[in-house]
Amino acid sequence: MPEKLIFDHTMESLLRTLERPIPPEQIKGLDALGIDLSKPLQPAYPLEVFSSLIGFIGRQRFPRLSEQEADFEVGRAFIEAYTTQTVMGKALKGLLRVIGPHRAIERMSRTFRSANNYTETRLEKLGPTSYELWFNFALRPSYFRGMVHGTLGLCGLKQIEVKVLEAPHPEARVHVSWQP
């Protein structure tokens, strides 16, 4: 099986969640992870570097939260950074309110696959405002939970619930629901 790689545009959006300018101690921490910000980003990074980066950002930005809750907040911050700091993300933000939550979650399932070379997803509609989203490989399920929550929030929804369900490691399943 080929090495699991995260593409540069995903790494760039995740790095945008750090405060600006990035403090020297955080730059040292990123260097220790194998991310050298004095050079252009590599075309792709190993999954382990990406996973470590999520944990690093969680500890920097949300030090009082548990690892799972920090991962959730990093996932939400990723969506916020992407939709406010990138051209594509700004366009997507406007589109999400227009297309609504059903089409947004269907699109999200496909979008996850463009972030790397390994993700497979399946989406199952359970009811009028309820879905289950399956990932073949998710080392940090709460991060994905945060991304789903953040994306649906951009659709104008207020009462969103995203729960991580039991799944054999390294798979992940999340149950998504909202009030109309």
Q: How far apart are CA 44 and CA 11, in angstroms?
A: 8
At 83, list the tokens: 């939709």
Q: What is the pTM of this model?
A: 0.95
Total count of domains within the chain? 2
**Which residues in 113-144 are b (16+ Cβ under 10 Å) and which e?**
eebbeebebeeeeeeebebbbbbeebbbbbbb
Residues 134 and 164 in one domain: yes
Query: Distance between CA atoms of 126 and 72, rounded to whole angstroms?
Result: 23
Looking at the structure, tell me whether residues 75 and 102 fall in a common domain: no
> In the prediction, which pLDDT does 13 show?
95
Low-confidence ranges of the chain (pLDDT < 50): none
d(CA 174, CA 163): 5
Residue 74 is part of which domain span? 5-85
Same domain, 81 and 104: no
Alpha helices in the chain (DSSP H): 8-15, 24-33, 47-61, 67-85, 87-113, 141-153
What is the structure's pLDDT at 51? 98
Q: Give the DSSP H or E segment for 7.
A: strand 5-7
**Residue showing tokens 């490989």:** 137
> Pairing relation of β-strands 121-127 and 130-135?
antiparallel
Give the model's pLDDT for residue 117: 95
According to the model, what pLDDT value does residue 99 have?
94
Let me know if residue 91 belongs to a domain: no
- pLDDT at residue 1, as a whole number: 66
